Amino acid sequence: MHPPILAIDTSCDETAVAVTQGNLILSNVVASQVELHKPYGGVFPTVAKLAHRENLPAASKLALKRAGITPSELAAVAVTQGPGLAPALEVGIEFAKQLAKEWDKPLIAVNHVEGHLLSVLARPRPKTSLPATPEMEAELPFPILGVIVSGKHNDFVRINGLGQYQLLGSTIDDAAGEALDKVGRMLDLGYPAGPVIEEFAKRGNARAIEFPLPMTTSGDFNVSFSGMKTFARNKIEALSGEASLSSQTIYDFCASFQRAVIRAILYKLNKILQTESFGEVWLGGGVAANTALRSELRAMLKPYGLKLKVPYTKKLCGDNAAMIGIVAGYKLHRGEVANPSDLDRRPRWNLNELSAVAGTE
């Protein structure tokens, strides 16, 4: 039996609280701040901090209510320790510490990227009340290739076991979602631009503009999007001249840029697969909601005989606390409980450093 965990994530612009039991999601509350940050064209840290502080009490009450769980039934309180925006992380950690103290529960500190990695394991709550049994490690085909593409992260990870990760490659500048958002801003598509670019791309010609393929000679598994972004800015300037861009030109631009971003990711994934063998590939993060990325990645994996796993609902691609609760379930099982008195935010917390966690006993 795996008792329920209340999990909190305030790493960026979503105030997220969930109740999970093993891999089952009993409730998953996400109070989005997208509207608040729209005027800034990105996430404004002070605004995020204040909004988290305001939203957390109601979001946790709602998460418990939807789960039908009382605090006394919880096994632990879990919280994202990092990576993320320092002021935003701080609010979630303070709140989690308070709850753990008030309810007299252990506190579990979770890495946000590990949350995205394990989001494919999430299962919806069954209609009949079955006890939650997480898949055992032995049943998972390790090593697994984890691919995280979001607004902040762009990581290729070898998952040797749950809690055992090795970063194979990352971005040397922007994450894919960040690049989509920045180019979307150049085109006045609003924030976040990723979903808009996906929609517009469906109406455009992906071969209209040939973007350069980056990092082909770097000899590593890292990606970079800054060259593509500069290319995009110059191209938009050249195309617009005196007049504004036509709708069709914008659609073609979106289709071509989306193709370029996907190609850059797949190019490096292909290199990784030519070097190492994996049992499965897991995709997570906000950009994992992109249908073109999913289908092109599936097609690329076919010759390798590899299956692609994605979260069961697109809501789990973006930031949420259910994924934090799932990681916390495994950590609790392994006895990895944090010491509240020295648990502090870790705004930059690389998956390779998971074993040396400050504030974990």
The residue range among 94-102, 145-153, 183-191, 243-251 that interacts with Zn ion, by the rule CB under 5 A, is 145-153
Closer to ligand KG4 by CB, 101 or 233: give it.
233
Minimum distance, C-beta of residue 319 to Zn ion, in the bound complex (Å)? 4
Q: Which long-range contacts (CB under 8 A, 24 or more apart) does 180-186 make?
A: 180/257, 180/258, 180/261, 180/287, 181/42, 181/151, 182/229, 183/229, 183/232, 183/257, 185/41, 186/232, 186/233, 186/236
Q: Which does 289 bind (CB under 5 to 8 A by kind): Zn ion, ligand KG4, none?
A: ligand KG4
Taking the least distance from each CB to Zn ion, the nearer of 175 and 297 is: 175
The strands making up 164-169's β-sheet, listed across from edge to edge, are: 164-169, 154-161, 144-149, 280-284, 308-309
Q: Which range binds ligand KG4 by CB under 6 A, 32-40, 45-53, 178-186, 229-237?
A: 178-186
Looking at the Cβ atoms of 152 and 268, the one nearer to ligand KG4 is: 152
**Structure tokens that stand for 68 in this block:** 């039908």
Structure-token match 């204040």, residue found: 50
Q: Determine the Cα–Cα distance for residues 344 and 235; give it in Å rounded to an integer.
A: 44
Q: Are 338 and 77 in contact (CB under 8 A)?
A: no
Nearer of residues 81 and 150 to Zn ion, judged by Cβ? 150
**Smallest gap from residue 272 Cβ to ligand KG4 (A):** 21
Parallel/antiparallel/unpaired status of strands 280-284 and 144-149: parallel
Q: Residues 6, 75, 287, 297: which binds ligand KG4 (CB under 6 A)? A: 287
Among 74, 120, 193, 321, binds ligand KG4 (CB under 6 A): 193
In the set 192, 214, 325, 329, which binds ligand KG4 (CB under 6 A)? 192
Partner whose binding site includes residue 180, from Zn ion, ligand KG4, none (CB under 5 to 8 Å by kind): ligand KG4
CA–CA separation, 104 vs 66, rounded Å?
Answer: 22
User: Rule CB under 6 A: is residue 174 a binding residue for ligand KG4?
Assistant: no
* Structural contact between residues 221 and 156, judged by C-beta atoms closer than 8 angstroms: yes
Among 115, 195, 204, 329, binds ligand KG4 (CB under 6 A): 195
List CB contacts of 276: < 8 A, sequence separation 6 or more: 143, 158
The nearer residue to Zn ion, 28 or 150, going by C-beta atoms, is: 150
CA atoms of 227 and 168, how far apart (whole Å): 22
Instruction: Name the residue with the smallest CB distance to ligand KG4.
Output: 286
Q: Which residues contact Zn ion by CB under 5 A?
A: 150, 319
Q: Which residues contact ligand KG4 by CB under 6 A?
A: 12, 150-152, 177-178, 180-181, 192-195, 198, 285-287, 289-290, 318-319
